[in-house]
Structure 1
């Protein structure tokens, strides 16, 4: 899953913000550009696995929620500054993020990352590999001998491969597999990378009561099989 590279500015903001005493409406922040986790449908509304999940979690926690979209590269700073109350955006639980925000329990298992290519004859060790800026895939590529080519959005990474600007895309398999199935120009390599640690809600560190409400709702969905049903429906990884 995705992993922001936190900036000094974000860290500074994190240290200076405080949580409001109560939430009359809980605002759920998502990217709206990473299907099947989250995307905007033809009506311009947030849709996907995390829309269905978020609505169900709010119902079980007896919370009134509304959806907000935010670009990926500023999604943590804007949570900390109070633009919304929860991040639900395919966000991996990582130690780096945990220094700035808090997390709910995970609502997906680790999902493998895959390579999307136009030819199976790609030498990944020496290739130009595209990844979305600030993701764990970008960090992974940067730690190899390959050349990292970063883009602001996931769609741009796919376009770079199709245009020949990059040799491969590294991203969540759940995101790339439908593209490979529907586009004859591209395919997935057999090689995969397991670099994510499961996805959870991101919350401000001082928002423990809200985190606990969501954790209880996540636990109830795991217990009654509702979460596994959504995972199967949207194809976002292994079931619990």
Structure 2
């Protein structure tokens, strides 16, 4: 009960913020299912769309969605093209030097390798990853040869065409791919990276961060967040 009271009080911060800013622009990639993707109607969909809409509702904020390519998603936040990143972004010390983060809204999602056979060399072979991700950084330090791509789909295509031995990405993203393609399989051990997934904000937007922090906490406290995580199968629950 104490947590719920504290969360309710913190959510009240949103009233003054909403008066200062009419619309909060939510930036996402729109290309990383089930976290975020563009549906057949051309709209942002997925776990983070449902989560973001619920957070904005609880914080009494009017929000709109903006898509941006992954490799420039942080610079475009800093330059003001949108106000929040909600795009499966892991909280890291390196990113935290440039932007600020809310508390995590999922625990760390295991990363996995996807390949065409089980006997690939994961430590000395050629491994594909999306540029600017934790997985790319991990591969670069692992001894394997890293090749980076702008999108996760391109990284998977590199495995299919023999350009790479395997791809490393979030397990929740790769498992459906393996289930739909009989030639691809999850191989090797899972890799634990990062401190969970959070919303990224400009360091100057302290009040907005506190508002979303309170909304995230309220969803943790009443169990709604865990239900949403289970529905979309994006990570383990809290």
**Fold-level similarity (TM above 0.5):** yes
Gaps of 5+ in 2: 1-18
Q: Which residue of 2 aligns with 1:138?
A: 136
Instruction: Determine the C-alpha separation between the residues in 2 that align with 1:125 and 1:214.
Output: 40
Choose the corresponding residue for 2:45, options 22, 32, 47: 47
Q: Which residue of 2 aligns with 1:195?
A: 193
CA apart distance, 1:126: 1.4
CA apart distance, 1:196: 2.2
Instruction: Determine the C-alpha separation between the residues in 2 that align with 1:105 and 1:132.
Output: 24
Instruction: Determine the C-alpha separation between the residues in 1 that align with 2:44 and 2:126.
Output: 32
1:1-150 map, 5 Å: 22-150=20-148
In the TM superposition, what whole-angstrom CA distance separates every residue of 1:89-121 from its partner, at most 9, and x where no partner exists? 000111111111111110000111000000001
Q: Secondary structure of 2:104's match?
A: strand
CA apart distance, 1:130: 0.2
Instruction: Determine the C-alpha separation between the residues in 2 that align with 1:228 and 1:134.
Output: 28
Following superposition, which runs of at least 4 residues in structure 1 exceed 6 angstroms of deviation? none
Gaps of 5+ in 1: 1-20
In the TM superposition, what whole-angstrom CA distance separates every residue of 1:38-72 from its partner, at most 9, and x where no partner exists? 00001110000000000000000000000000000
CA apart distance, 1:197: 1.4
> Is the 1:112–1:196 contact (alpha carbons within 8 Å) kept by the matching residues of 2?
no
Q: Secondary structure of 2:105's match?
A: strand
> How big is the alpha-carbon RMSD for the aligned residues of Structure 1 and Structure 2?
0.9
Instruction: Determine the C-alpha separation between the residues in 2 that align with 1:123 and 1:85.
Output: 42
Choose the corresponding residue for 1:172, options 167, 170, 173: 170
Return the TM-score normalized by structure 2.
0.91
